[in-house]
Amino acid sequence: MANNPHTNPNSNGPHDEKFKTSENSKSESLETYRSDAEGHDLRTNQGVRISDNHNSLKAGERGPTLMEDFIFREKLNHFDNERIPERIVHARGSAAHGYFQPYETAAKYSKAGVFQDPGKKTPVFVRFSTVQGPRGSNDTVRDVRGFATKFYTDEGNWDLVGNDMPVFFIQDAIKFPDFVHAVKPEPHNEIPQGQSAHDTFWDFVSLMPEATHMVLWTMSDRAFPRHYRNMEGFGVHTFRLIDKQGKARFAKFHWKPLAGTCSLIWDEAQKLWGRDPDFNRRQMWDDIESGNFLEYELGVQIVEEEDEHKFDFDLLDPTKLIPEELVPVTPIGKMTLNRNPDNFFAETEQVAFSPAHVVPGIDFTNDPLLQGRLFSYLDTQMLRLGGPNFHEIPINQPVCPAHNNQRDAMHRQTINKGQASYEPNSIDGGWPSETPAAPENGGFESYQERVDARKIRARSPSFGDHYSQATLFWNSQTDVEKEHIIGAYTFELSKVKRPWIRERVIKEILPNIDLELARRVGENHGIETPTSKPAPAEELGASTLVDSPALSLMARLPGNIKYRKVAILVADGVDADHVEGTKSRLEAEGAQAMVIAPSMAPVKAASGQTVSPDGMLNSEPSVTMDAVVVAGGAESVTTLSQSGDGVYYLQEAYKHLKAIAAIGEGRGCWPRPVFPCRRMVSSSGQR
């Protein structure tokens, strides 16, 4: 192909000067858009000072409001339109800023600039979310959690848009609208909000065996993260990484929390719906504000192209994972979330993610669910954020220069100079110009995968195994986790009104995972289950592994009490030395000690000192804590033990298997049935 005479001179020109981000690049770029009202007059959007913001303009004090009151009309008009359509899924979210820093191991897998320099910190913005519920739903519902990361790299934005579970409900994106319609509140009464315990969800998944693996994950403790800092993240799909030599490898992305993995249990989650529906977002916000930052390692599972078909499942099937025993996760970098957003709407609500946002060195595979997402996200953001210029919203802007010939449309912010809005051109010197795709130049080049096939609506037979990995997941759970799964299926199906749907799940789906699981759930519903697996052999599939310990939350329990919240129960007459000694020791280990009293009034210690409470028994319940300490002091212990709130606090902590300690008089003044000696482990990792 002949070189264009007008743009060819630019091919070897400077293009953009080599752009380098820093940890603070995104924060600095947002500074232009930050607005602090301190010291400023109240004005209209057109800059006119407002002298009276309490009264609309009327014809007389009791007369009608006048249409000419432009201040009133502007204020009400903006208010009437200040809500935008919420996301169809992942509507309820919370987010944080931070940075990513690669390890030396990263560069050998991908030529992406974000992986090249171990000394470089790339700014990121991460949004965590639930899937089913609307913006006003609860944080602790049984649901999948979104884990979406926007990297503001030197080469443009890269979005790693994943979940806290490594697989998904469906194999082909054409079924995504059906799945979402089924899991959302039922259309006739908009019930239930934020949960899957209803007929349409279970009707759909019981008729779609490919959903079985993901449903099992959702019935596990993975559905209730204790804290976002204890939540794993997964890219879900198989991607390609391309190195500087142009060699491609398959890759699965993993976020591993450095604080370990743990969860709430079902009863705790339900209580938190009423006590603190913002539990997860509040914890993240408070921890970041206090300097207890969230940390994750980014890891990859790498599969060479020649090994694509060596597994007993298809790499392109999004309902499958690669067990870590077969392909270990290689850590390639660390992410730290260390700054809260300045404004929830401007940043958390308006941020627009898409798996199609990639940079040179990262590319796609033919995963049919991924292929559909590449279209769907862009299409959704166009409507939700008011047109094709959503990339100009500050939180979505890349930190590197961005020039092209896309102009106009709604909400355009850029004032484009020059006459030429086309390429090639000679009027504006040929700029902006294409960048050659050679690695040293940085132009994006799609991986040249050979495709030789007929157009067909079908699925590969290699996608036909629907149960082997669900069985693998079940076999990998501890006895405690298995009991929680049995309880989850029992509860969820109790909310299904149509008996044939319950029977279909219990008799036709669960036995293919495990006969004992089916029997136990069936027993709880009075349904007799088969004695053999009813699915055909090709759907049952086969696994080279019996179990995979990495699939259990308990595989990565926190190894210390860092970041844990511990309640110290006190009342008047408490031993102040016990309080101060316990608090200082806990904080020395990185835990957060909270003094909890019957009220917020200062507590008078036995020594005459004053102890200031951090919270009350009924406002900071034990479900928000990881452990409880009863401080000594005879009068304090007597008061607490005769208080209904005090007794309930410990009973509830005991029920949820929290660590409970008593000091001095606290050891002998509590009724023994409150917490008889026993040693168990809860799903949150407490002993």
Question: Would you name the residues annotated as active-site residues?
Answer: 90, 163
Strands 93-102, 122-130: pairing is: antiparallel
Distances (CA, A) of 182 to 177, 193, 207, 218: 8, 13, 12, 15
Which one-letter amino acid corresponds to residue 620? E
> For residues 365 and 373, is the Cβ–Cβ distance under 8 A?
no
The tokens describing 234, both together, are 């997964």
CA-CA distance, 636 to 575, in Å (whole number)?
A: 8
Beta-strand (E) ranges in 175-247? 233-234, 239-242
Tell me whether residue 130 is exposed, middle or buried, using C-beta atoms within 10 angstroms of its C-beta: 0 to 12, 13 to 18, 19 or more: buried
- Which residues are CB-contacts of 590 (< 8 A; sequence separation ≥ 6)? 560, 561, 562, 563
Q: Is 594 helix (H, G, I), strand (E, B) or coil?
A: strand
Long-range pairs for 74-82: beta carbons < 8 A, 24 or more residues apart: 74/44, 74/45, 78/45
Q: Do the Cβ atoms of 641 and 632 come closer than 8 Å?
A: no
Q: Residue 131's closest CA among 114, 116, 118, 148?
A: 148
Distance, in Å, from the CA atom of 283 to the CA atom of 103, rounded to the nearest integer, reads 29
Spell out the residues 6+ positions from residue 422 whose beta carbon is closer than 8 angstroms to its own: 405
Q: For residue 280, give the 3-state DSSP assignment.
A: helix
- 534 near 511, Cβ under 8 Å? yes
Crossing angle of helices 176-183 and 199-207, rounded to 10°: 150
Q: How far apart are CA 552 and CA 484, in angstroms?
A: 13
| 153's tokens | 């790299």
Question: By the 8 A CB rule, do 117 and 22 touch?
Answer: no
**Between the CA of residue 215 and those of 76, 128, 168, 257, what are the distances in Å?**
45, 20, 9, 23
Q: Are 621 and 652 in contact (CB under 8 A)?
A: yes
**Before 192, cis peptide (omega within 30)?**
yes
37: CB partners within 8 A, 6+ apart: none
Cα–Cα nearest to 267, from 480, 484, 479:
484
Pick from 13, 9, 15: which is nearest to 401 by CA?
15
Tokens of 124: 């990121």
Q: Assess contact for 44 and 52: CB atoms under 8 A.
A: no
- C-alpha torsion 26→27→31→32, nearest 10: 0
In the chain, what is the straight-line distance between the N-terminal and C-terminal CA atoms, in Å? 70
Question: How far is the C-alpha of 248 from the C-alpha of 371, rounded, in Å?
Answer: 18
Give the integer Cα–Cα distance in Å for 683 and 333. 28
Phi-psi region of 463 (alpha: psi -120 to 50; beta: other; left: phi over 0): alpha
